[in-house]
Amino acid sequence: MPTFQPSARLLFWGPTLIWASTWHVILYQLAEVPAMNAVAWRFLLASGLLFALAAWRGESWRIAPRWHPWLALTGSVQYGVNYWCVYEAENHIPSGLVAVLFALMVFGNALTGAWFFGKPITRRFVASAAVGVSGVALIFWPEVLAAGGKPGAALGLGFGLLAVACACTGNALTLKLGERGLALVPTLAWCMGYGALGLVAASGLQGLGWQVGHSAAWWVSLLYLAAFGSVAAFLMYFKLAHREGPGKAALTGVLTPVLALAVSAALEGWRPTLLSIAGVALCLGSVYAATRPVPEAAAPR
């Protein structure tokens, strides 16, 4: 059976547009169940879809037992703690602001790239990172000033930053597993399954039970987040990272926050200020400066 080879443009714009929308869609989940339950059902369904996709493609689900501790670790970090923190952050701050935090993933990816893959970090990158952090500080400055009256904003910021750290670690672990020859679809299926089962167990231990929503909006948003926000987006993202490198894949984080902020402004009542606009400009400009290609030096004559 011939295999479809998507273009690099599709692999870039696919996850960018999908993830720009998922930040808001998550709110329909949080309206009816605790964050831990919502994340668990999302990735249990996504894992089942990926196993079905692997079977349809004729790929084996089996992965050697020695890799399963790594699959469980990757799943717990990337699809367990990471997404639980994302959902909790959206309980306290607008979804568009959480998306802006994820623009900083490009810098976290650089650090994990240096640790896991031996890729050097340049001075330009360090300077760009400092500017990016300053941009995020400007965006959140009104929330920082109001933290005494709105402690939830500071908590949401903390959850968001922890989610970014977990996402960067999970990305690096997934790419490392790919380097060891593990097929992408079964790898993601196992990782999402392990992450979801960990959250199901944690929900039981914390006395949350295993709650599900009852409205059509909850079920439709769950299906969208699992099928598109998890299966389709992550498959395209990691295919792009394998083909073009993690730096090119990280560029999805440049446009996603701008689109997510537009959705947040239109649907959640978030209103930009001059400080937030300046912060977005600094944040996105720093990501562009950090990731734009360096012109090659002219060859000696």
- Surface-to-core class of residue 1, CB atoms within 10 Å of its CB (0-12 exposed, 13-18 middle, 19+ buried): exposed
- The dihedrals phi and psi of 155, each to the nearest 5 degrees, come to -65, -40
Residue 281 lies in a domain: yes
Does 17 have pLDDT greater than 80?
A: yes
Residue 211 lies in a domain: yes
Domains identified in the chain, total number: 1
Does 146 have pLDDT greater than 70?
A: no
Task: Report the SS3 class of residue 37.
Answer: helix
Q: What is the pLDDT of residue 236?
A: 94
- The dihedrals phi and psi of 119, each to the nearest 5 degrees, come to -90, 130
| Cα gap 195→200, rounded to integer Å | 9
- Chain-centre distance of CA 140, in angstroms? 20
| Percentage with pLDDT > 70 across the chain | 87
The DSSP code for 84 is: H
- Could you list the residue range(s) of the whole structural domain that residue 82 is in? 15-291
Q: Which amino acid is at 197?
A: L
Q: What is the pLDDT of residue 301?
A: 40
Residue 9 lies in a domain: no
Contact 190, 53 (CB under 8 A): no
Global pTM?
Answer: 0.81
Does 148 have pLDDT greater than 70?
A: no
Residue 6 lies in a domain: no
| Cα gap 75→43, rounded to integer Å | 10
253's tokens: 């984080």
CA distances from 244 to 96, 219, 225, 291 (A): 27, 35, 25, 13
| Cα gap 221→27, rounded to integer Å | 9
- Surface-to-core class of residue 296, CB atoms within 10 Å of its CB (0-12 exposed, 13-18 middle, 19+ buried): exposed
Residue 301 lies in a domain: no
Which of 252, 231, 253 minimizes the C-alpha distance to 79? 231
Residue 210 lies in a domain: yes
CB 165: neighbour CB atoms within 10 A?
18
Residue 300 lies in a domain: no
| Percentage with pLDDT > 90 across the chain | 36
- Surface-to-core class of residue 230, CB atoms within 10 Å of its CB (0-12 exposed, 13-18 middle, 19+ buried): buried
pLDDT digits (tens, 9 = 90+) for 286-299: 777 776 766 554 43
Residue 277 lies in a domain: yes
pLDDT digits (tens, 9 = 90+) for 196-223: 999 999 988 888 888 999 999 999 999 9
